[in-house]
């Protein structure tokens, strides 16, 4: 039997969900209001920041003018670059390939820099904060965004939940999936206190459909360049990944309205949950509606084939016919769709999003 207090809490939470469904049309969400997009994440979002670490053995300096990434994890432009093009906004991209939310939770070593992959908590977020206050010697501000004209997006979790992290029980002892989620919401805290007021949280992609983690029936591979020591039972791997993704995304769906509406964690801020999982799952289920290459749509294969050492790569023809670029990453065409729908989320009425605040 529910206590009166718990019943009231459930009622308020249900109201928060109702508001989330309806508020997109009448609040501050409108793509024309935004002049800047600030992004945090991993290889799904990175343009060339990890490349700087590899080539210079150090982090980019404060006020680094990041060039457009012409050959990203998609084989071409990344979704945030397309989103900035589609919305005519300036992109400030702090994502780093290989990143997790926090190396205190799921550290992953990268031999090319003789250190863990730079993460959001200890690198990406501090890098943005430094840039947001940086003024060049000639007096020009590096970051020109204001609370009203800047949207902040976080898409993180592919590596946190993957091999050498939670999937293979490699997390720091005592850490759980809730620790990863706490890190995501703590990132919003810091951005909020720095002046951010519009947030878009992208949930986890359907990782269990990637060739690296899929079942054999869905094109799953015995080993990949990113997971060369994959256990033999790839069906078990796929279902374990599916369970983790479903759990995390369910928490995103409930926790965002709870933190925003009930806890009032970020007063006067607006937060959108972008169901990129649902979008990519729909691409997988109805590929002819999204993929536009000259060949038949392909959701089980991928474009770029390499050895387990990541060498001798060959590419399939008609890359826009594929959902996946390689074993772990969406294709450029998939990223165009994500970018288009992201701008729809910015507009305020996307069927793939819920809005609060």
Dist. CA 309–CA 280, nearest whole Å:
28
Contact 52, 96 (CB under 8 A): no
How many other CB atoms are found less than 10 A from the CB of residue 222? 10
The two three-digit tokens of residue 120, written as one number: 């959001």
Q: Can you tell me which residue has the tokens 């919305």?
A: 87
In angstroms, the Cα distances linking 6 to 1, 3, 12, 262 are 10, 5, 10, 13
CB-based contacts of 140: which residues, under 8 Å, 6+ apart? Answer: none
- The 3-state DSSP class for residue 140 equals coil
DSSP code per residue over 163-178: TTTGGGT-SPTT--HH
Q: What is the pLDDT of residue 28?
A: 76
Indicate the domain borders of the chain: 4-356
Dist. CA 86–CA 95, nearest whole Å:
20
Dist. CA 43–CA 105, nearest whole Å:
19
Dist. CA 180–CA 185, nearest whole Å:
9
Nearest to 48 by CA among 103, 16, 12, 95: 95
CATH 3.90.1300.10 fits 4-356, yes or no: no
DSSP code per residue over 68-127: P-SS-TTSS--HHHHHHHHHT-EEEE---TT--S-TTTS--EETTTTEEPP-IIIIIHHH
Nearest to 151 by CA among 189, 195, 101, 102: 195
Q: Walk along the chain (357 residues) and give the pLDDT tens digit of each residue.
A: 555 444 444 444 554 555 555 444 455 799 999 999 999 999 999 999 999 999 999 999 999 999 999 999 999 999 999 999 999 999 999 999 999 999 999 999 999 999 999 999 999 999 999 999 999 999 999 999 999 999 999 999 999 999 999 999 999 999 999 999 999 999 999 999 999 999 999 999 999 999 999 999 999 999 999 999 999 999 999 999 999 999 999 999 999 999 999 999 999 999 999 999 999 999 999 999 999 999 999 999 999 999 999 999 999 999 999 999 999 999 999 999 999 999 999 999 999 999 999
- pTM equals 0.94
Dist. CA 229–CA 296, nearest whole Å:
32
Contact 334, 342 (CB under 8 A): no
The two three-digit tokens of residue 290, written as one number: 């999204």
Nearest to 103 by CA among 87, 117, 83, 89: 117
- The 3-state DSSP class for residue 340 equals helix
């Amino acid at each position: 039997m529910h206590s009166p207090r718990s019943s009231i809490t459930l009622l308020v939470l249900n109201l928060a969900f109702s508001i989330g469904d309806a508020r997109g049309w009448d609040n501050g969400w409108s793509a024309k209001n935004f002049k800047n997009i600030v992004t945090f994440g991993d290889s799904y979002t990175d343009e060339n920041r990890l490349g700087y670490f590899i080539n210079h053995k150090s982090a980019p300096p404060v006020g680094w003018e990041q060039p457009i990434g012409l050959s990203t994890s998609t084989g071409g432009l990344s979704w945030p670059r397309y989103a900035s093009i589609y919305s005519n906004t300036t992109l400030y991209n702090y994502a780093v390939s290989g990143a997790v939310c926090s190396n205190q939770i799921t550290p992953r070593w990268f031999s090319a820099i003789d250190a863990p992959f730079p993460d959001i908590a200890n690198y990406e977020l501090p890098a943005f904060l430094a840039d947001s206050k940086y003024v060049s010697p000639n007096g020009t501000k590096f970051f020109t965004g204001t609370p009203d004209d800047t949207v902040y997006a976080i898409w993180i979790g592919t590596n946190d939940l993957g091999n050498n992290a939670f999937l293979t029980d490699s997390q720091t002892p005592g850490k759980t999936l809730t620790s990863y989620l706490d890190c995501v919401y703590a990132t919003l805290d810091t951005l909020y206190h720095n002046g951010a007021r519009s947030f878009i949280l992208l949930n986890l992609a359907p990782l269990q459909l990637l060739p690296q983690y899929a079942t054999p029936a869905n094109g799953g591979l015995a080993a990949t360049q990113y997971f060369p020591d994959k256990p033999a039972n790839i069906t078990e791997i796929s279902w374990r990944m599916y369970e983790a993704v479903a759990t995390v995304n369910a928490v995103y769906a409930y926790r965002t309205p709870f933190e925003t509406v009930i806890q009032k964690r970020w007063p006067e801020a607006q937060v959108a949950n972008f169901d990129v999982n649902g979008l990519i799952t729909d691409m997988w289920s109805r590929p002819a509606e999204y993929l536009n290459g000259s060949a038949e749509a392909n959701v089980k294969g991928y474009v770029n084939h390499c050895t387990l050492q990541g060498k001798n790569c060959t590419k399939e023809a008609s890359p826009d016919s594929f959902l996946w670029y390689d074993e772990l990453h969406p294709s450029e065409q998939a990223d165009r769709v994500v970018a288009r729908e992201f701008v729809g989320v910015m507009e305020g009425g996307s069927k793939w999003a819920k809005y609060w605040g």
